Amino acid sequence: MLPKILVVDDTPANLVAMRRLLANCGAELIEANSGNQALALCLDHRFALILLDVNMPDMDGFEVAQLLAETDHMRDTPIIFVTAAYADDLNRLKGYRFGAVDYIAKPVNDAILQSKVRVFLDLYSARAQLQQAMDELSARNRQLVDEVAERQRAEAQVRHQATHDMLTGLPNRTLFHDRLRTAIARAPRHGTGFALALLDIDGFKQVNDQHGHPAGDALLVAIAERLRQHVRVNDSVARLGGDEFAMILEDINDTAALLDRCKEVGAWLARPYPLQGRNGEFVAHVSASIGIAYHDGEHGSDEALIQIADRALYQAKDGGKNRCVMAV
């Protein structure tokens, strides 16, 4: 698209002369015969250069330049005043104060006019190229920001998948061991104990066999949600695999209260589960056997504590299931 030059002069002969002199300048010429018409045209066009007659009736060139200088999108448009009063220093200073970048004296010298117009068109072209380069750079920067954000989201998702169970969203065995080791290391500093509870879901296999794996998966998701609702913010719940879950219960000082709390969890897990199976809607009835190991600083490793809780869990299952057993 060709750059545009606005030629403003109230004398038709001058406009014709300008049209002839600038016919091959490489720009589209747009003409105005008054200051008001020039201002109206500036609302609809973006000009590379304005050739502005100073002496016009109603609104002279100085007034037009002043109004253009107050318009955001026209403030940086170069204005060359075309005037017979070029030799008057006061008029030149006045023009520069109102935004003129140059003067051309009347009668217009062809070579001077074409040379100055060429300079400002080259400047406009260079600025346009620079703006395009800056726009492209800005677009590339936004693209890089989006790419970095997407990579960070992907990395966060990979890290989450590596440490969380895909079905229930609970921490998996890897993250469970990490949190258990952290709890063991933190307990002496806090001066309080904590407990590890291992849970097996009683009756899960029957639901899975009778109603299909999707129903079994839905049951595990529902169990995980109930466990989330019944732990405190600083506690942890994990799915270790299959129908095996674990809870790390922090800041425990009273083992009797701990046992009561685990019994409440077991009672909540034993409530009915309305589900959709392969033969339609049904209500699942399961329960939980829970083995509890209280850590008071004597058990040195996470594996030792897990073995203690695991033995208590087997006692709960052997004792008739749907029970809580505290390791002694």
List residues with catalytic annotation. Answer: 243
Positive or negative, the CA dihedral 166, 170, 171, 173 is negative
Asked if 117 and 49 touch (Cβ cutoff 8 Å), the reply is yes
CA–CA distance, 71 with 86 (Å, rounded to integer): 26
- Three-state DSSP class for 41? helix
Start-end of H helices in 22-60: 35-44
CA–CA distance, 73 with 41 (Å, rounded to integer): 13
The rounded Cα 200 to chain-centroid distance in angstroms is: 41
- Taking alpha carbons only, the member of 114, 118, 83, 68 closest to residue 11 is 83
Q: Name the token pair of 231.
A: 């732990």
- Taking alpha carbons only, the member of 179, 177, 170 closest to residue 238 is 170
Residue 228 backbone class (left: φ over 0; alpha: ψ -120 to 50; beta: rest): alpha
CB-CB neighbours of 38 under 10 Å: 27
Q: Strand 273-277 relative to strand 280-284: parallel, antiparallel, unpaired? A: antiparallel
Q: Name the token pair of 326.
A: 């505290």
Asked if 53 and 106 touch (Cβ cutoff 8 Å), the reply is no
